[in-house]
Amino acid sequence: MVLYTKWEALATQDRSEKEYEKFWQDYFALEEGVYDYLLSNNVSNLEGTVSDLATKFQLDSVIFTGFLDGINTSLVTELDVKSLEEDSLLTLEIDFEKLYYNMLDAKANWLYNLPSWNGILTEERRKEITKDYNKAQIVVKDKKIGRNDPCPCGSGQKYKKCCINK
């Protein structure tokens, strides 16, 4: 069975609410440890097999696949996570600015507030990324066309006499 399928089965397994919360709390703690290591040591490139990298971070391969699924959109070249096997060779190049943005998007405050970000991105740069993220979340509505405004189709007539009835 492919690792991603095992990860999906594990992550979506039926659990009581308490078990569900414990599973994700434990997973997020493991994930935080991996990110803290990567940021603290300014590791932007990782190479090795899935099982070797999982062992390096003291995770089993299925949990590590969940981590890879989470970081995938922050990589310079995304992985085909769904086809990974234990012996799949990985070359991961992390784009830290994209990673920070994606952590904001995931509302993962336990990750984007890690003190180890200080050695990677300046506080000013993190504020800029946060500002860009917040700007992207603002919904801008198109200006409403009034009945007596010129019709946007370019006919020269008032909107109420032209396209409002179409």
Count CB atoms within 10 A of the CB of residue 34: 21
Q: Tell me the pLDDT tens digit for each residue of 8-66.
A: 999 999 999 999 999 999 999 999 999 999 999 999 999 999 999 999 999 999 999 99
Is the Cβ–Cβ distance between 88 and 68 less than 8 Å? no
pLDDT at position 155, please?
86
- Residue found under tokens 């009945």: 147
Q: In sequence order, which ranges of 13-158 are alpha helices (DSSP H)?
A: 17-40, 50-56, 61-71, 96-105, 109-112, 123-137
pLDDT band at 166 (very low <50, low <70, confident <90, very high): low
Q: Using CA atoms, how far apart are residues 58 and 14, in angstroms rounded to an integer? A: 26
pLDDT band at 1 (very low <50, low <70, confident <90, very high): low
Averaged confidence pLDDT in the chain: 93
pLDDT for residue 147 is more than 90 = no
- Residue found under tokens 């396209």: 163
pLDDT for residue 164 is more than 90 = no
Q: Using CA atoms, how far apart are residues 13 and 129, in angstroms rounded to an integer? A: 35
Q: Tell me the pLDDT tens digit for each residue of 64-103.
A: 999 999 999 999 999 999 999 999 999 999 999 999 999 9
Task: State whether the Cα torsion 153-155-159-164 is positive or negative.
Answer: negative
Structure tokens at 87: 């012996």
Residue 109 or 146, more confident: 109
Per-residue 3-state assignment (H helix, E strand, C coil) for 45-81:
EEEEEHHHHHHHCCCCHHHHHHHHHHHHHHECCCCCH
